[in-house]
Amino acid sequence: MRDLYVDYDGVIVNTIKAITEMYDDEFRDHPNYREVNWSEVESWEFNELKCADAAHIDAYFCEPKFFEIVEFMPWADYILGLLKEYYNITIVSMGHTENLKLKEEWCKFNIPYARFCGVNFDNHVNKSKIDMRYGVFIDDVTENLNTSNAIKRICFGDKYAWNQDWEGVRCANWFDVWKAIGKPEWKEQQNKKKLKPGCLDI
């Protein structure tokens, strides 16, 4: 079995959608409120949500409600369920203490076959402390990908300011992930068949 390390926010779940819904619920009657579709949010700090400052949005990440309403990215749970046959899956996610506690509970309930590895914002600015050698790493932040020692690194999802400079492999959705890394043993067999007679299989 190989190792697969997967980010949580923006990769396994649609974090932007959940945060936008929490904002809608709280500020709908505010005089400066304007309805914003989650797909219009393109800033890391949620600047598009005008009635709430960064600290207010940050607090949403530590509320149980976030974990009650957050949804899987399309087909994430299905494809992860397939990948678990080929990989030891670890969810590697950054957050503050309360966020990580609730996130771990969510993962244990919804993705019980995966390990959870939290990286606290209080002590770390990226995920480089996690040894991912020989593994595959999927994340949506260039900084995390660039500082990882994973053998294969994949940037997931739409292009945003926090990943637009990534020049490596991209997967727009979970079907692309399956195409890129699904059934690794089968792929190795296929590659062996392509070798010309006499070639060393190294």
Residues 139-168 that bind Mg ion (CB under 5 A): 140
Residue pair 114/76 in contact by the 8 Å Cβ criterion: no
For residue 49, give every residue at least 6 positions away whose Cβ sits within 8 Å of its Cβ, in sequence order, or none.
Answer: 19, 20, 23, 27, 36, 41, 57
Verify binding: residue 10, Mg ion, rule CB under 5 A: yes
- Binding-site string for Mg ion from residue 104 to residue 143, where x marks contact by CB under 5 A and - marks none: ------------------------------------x---
Smallest separation, CB 140 to Mg ion (Å): 4
Among 3, 9, 21, 104, binds Mg ion (CB under 5 A): 9
Write out the two tokens for 28. 């709908």
Which token pair is 62?
């530590």
**4-12, 59-67, 76-84, 153-161 -> range binding Mg ion (CB under 5 A):** 4-12
Given the complex with Mg ion, which of 10 and 95 has the nearer CB atom?
Answer: 10
Interacting residue with Mg ion among 7, 16, 103, 137 (CB under 5 A) = 7
CA distance 184 to 201: 16
The answer to whether 73 and 19 are in contact (CB under 8 A) is: no
